[in-house]
Structure 1
Amino acid sequence: MTISQLRQSTGTDVLAASFDAQLERKAERETKTGKPFYEITLVDGTGDMKLKVWENRPQFRALDDIPDGTLLRLSGEWTQNQYGIDSAKWDMRLLNESEGKDFLAGDPDTRKKQDGDWADILRMTGDIADPRLHALCAEFINHYGERFRRSAAARKNHHARRGGLVEHVAQMMRSAQAICSVYPKLNRDLLTAGVLFHDCGKMWENNYPEAGFTQPFNIHGEMLGHIPLGIETANKIWRDLKEKPESQQWENLTPDSEDVQLHLLHLIASHHGTHEWGSPTLPRTPEAMALHYVDNLDAKYEMMSEGYESSPELAPGIQERKFPLPASLVTPLAAFPRKNESADSETEPESIDSPLDELF
């Protein structure tokens, strides 16, 4: 099982299962009575979980000799309550070399999804008509593609996993292009490039090593943050492209190249939407406003999806609030099947007489 599958499958009933994970970190804690225990954080390509290891468990002493980053297989009888996944009976062992190699490759479903998302990003950036933005995106992908593909979109809250940035950007890009069909005056090329670059600073703020699912801290990400780093990255590539002979063809293009560069940097700078959320400036163009809302929508939708998977049930159809969402989650309304889309029947539902029929 993956951690995500374990989270979805466990409840109050005991589930016997095994899963592989990387020990991200172990923290020594004490109970109210002063008894020591470990709280360990386990991660894989689908998410993370915390597990308490009590002093009277054999694993407690074993953890003294296991460094962070170790690959483990945990087997046991698992349940889930308001505090998360737990087990009264479990054990662990180190993964052998073959098992570790398979684990670090990621689970097949996640790899397949992220490969599809990456293909969509390549397709949509490849369709950019503006030669400057097209060249900028191509150079970025050529230079940073592998690093970009192993970055997360956040340290927690949403898409906080290896490759999560690709999932986030691909979905935002699809949403942005759909919005452009509704608001045709939006600059599709600029918005597509803005989506690609808006979180590119996460390559330092939320990056993963070439092998592993533990997200380290980076001094540049801590001291600068992803927005200044994203602006600098886009500027550096733009300056490098201007040194190439083919950029001479840009001189007579409309709109002016400096304006294109400035508008793209504005999208990166303003995408959080408010000063309180970390943007050095506020959205001042339709593309900047669209980017901000598409970003916010995808992040919130992902948080809700994760909440439905992991938040404890408070009452039938109501689940505990998942931070930073504003309120408890309520089970969404199932869509009414459209014609030719019913999974259970190919016939239309029977018509029901209504008192309103006589009025219309």
Structure 2
Amino acid sequence: MLGLFLVLPILMALWVSLSDWQGQGSPLAPGVDFVGAQNYAPLVAEPGLARNDFMTSMRNNAYYVLFVVPLQTLLALGLALLVNGKRLRGKGFFRTAYYFPTVTSSVAISVVFLFIFSSSGVVNSLLEKIGLEGPAWFADPRGVIHLVLGAFGVDITAPPPALADTTLGGLSLWEWIAGPSVAMCAIIALVVWTTAGMFMLMFLAALQDIPVEVEEASEIDGSGRRQRFRHITLPMLKPTTFLVLTLGLIGTWQVFDQIYVMSKGAPGKTTLTPAFLSYQSSFVSNEWGQGSAIAFILFTIIVAMTLVQRFILRDKDDAHVKAAARRAAKAARNGSGPTVRGTR
């Protein structure tokens, strides 16, 4: 089943990215020729519209990942700690309420957010009530970093020459540091809200698996709540944190449906992402080889970042945690809790 529905399509897509297939007939037909890296070169090496669009999508997605992954992880952990609290009543209700956006149709939620962030939507109405003018969320192509600099008197239409003249991948450094557009910020808020519930359940399951003896020994030894959270809870949540960060990283680099429903890359290509650009190149422009090439470049980026993340969060020696558990169990049996030493 995996070979038929996963491995074989991946291999065929790889062949399409290396061939001149035009989307008609079978990619394995005799008339389809091998072209090597010709579909990849316009994206990363040759100046032109294809490279500009691809680098723009990479910039947009990089900001998207930079904001979404930490926010959804922190929010999920916070919700899990809240729901796991001993004094909270109605835990089942809150678990369901926080998880509900995850199982709701992303298309339906995206349409709702379009109404919320429209010019006459709820957000702008609330801003008007406190004396602020709401932005045109899906019409302003400027990045939020540029907007903040403009608020401090920086002329964003005349950037510093050092930033305007230095280019990276066809885009100037001034364009790279523009930040996400206002429309992308709205999409970021949507995604964080819809994904935090799923990751909350993962953290909640991990919190409930932490041995009670370790926390009790630490509490007997005089450690406060913050110390227990830092030295006991977080280290034992490391495998779950790695899983959450990995899934978040993969999901954010593959974002498509929210972009397709809410913006289609507008305004000014500031919400264009590699996944949407791959779809657009293949199904709209009929450049199937280039669309598949974008997909495999994206695949390489995801694998590389996952390996880097795994190296950073690699398992280290947790002997002190295991030793604390053993001391806590011994103290509980012997009734000598106050003599526990070194438990953090």
* Larger relative contact order (CA 8 Å, sep ≥ 6): 2
* Higher-strand-fraction structure: 1
The TM-score by the shorter chain falls in which range?
A: under 0.3
Structure 1 length normalisation: TM-score?
0.24
Larger % of helix: which?
Answer: 2
TM-score by length of 2: 0.25
